[in-house]
Amino acid sequence: MSNRSIGLDEPLYHYLLEHSLREPDVLAQLRAETASLPEANMQIAPEQGQFMALLAKLMGAQRYLEIGTFTGYSALAIALVLPEDGEVVTLDKSADWTATARRHWERAGVAGRIRLELGEARNTLQALEAAGETGRFDLAFIDADKTGYPDYFEHCLRLVRPGGLILTDNTLWHGTVADPDDQRDDTRAIRAFNDALHHDERIDLSLVPIGDGLTLARRR
């Protein structure tokens, strides 16, 4: 027995999927299509999507903000569990990747509750605040350029209600955050972001070793 988080080799990871994952067909189809892209590793793991959807259910979330849409898997995972009058607001710069997302959202019958904003995320976030959206989101997910994480987090901290949750992806960064020899810009940015959140008294915090590392920050 051990009092530390368990590592996942291939057999154990497949056991986890076989005994936990309940991926709807619409999500499985989207994941399969995305797997053919050179950037397929940018998609979240299916067990992470299921975990995020469970968090949304536990919170009774109605409004979800996402920074970084890619082909739409995480937006779809959350949209599927929101109430009929719920809303996903998701931000991305790529019309190509999000065209795939739109097709699958339509196929899943949830396109009406997903609002895609194309353009620079900072501009859209500023526009949301200017439009009076401060404190009106229950849940946010940050999964975009890593050097932008601090700015995105500050915007989310204003846009998410007290008691709401901000999720940030890739905060273990393939394990390289613990490698002092890795001095790439993205790695250094994530290290600095993790350090800042660890000392941030405005939030309750947990970094969970799921996918590539998922940080949960509850706004106090």
Average pLDDT by stretches of 10, the chain with 220 residues: 88 98 98 96 97 98 98 98 98 97 98 98 98 98 98 98 98 97 98 98 98 98
What pTM did the predictor assign? 0.97
Nearest to 70, CA basis, from 170, 194, 173: 170
Angle at 139 between CA 96 and CA 25, to 5 degrees: 55
Q: What is the pLDDT of residue 1?
A: 65
Give the neighbor-by-neighbor strand order of the sheet with 203-208.
Answer: 114-118, 87-92, 63-67, 137-142, 160-169, 214-219, 203-208
Distance CA 168, CA 143 (A): 6
Identify the helix (H) or strand (E) that includes residue 54: helix 46-59
Distance CA 192, CA 206 (A): 16
Q: What is the pLDDT of residue 2?
A: 75
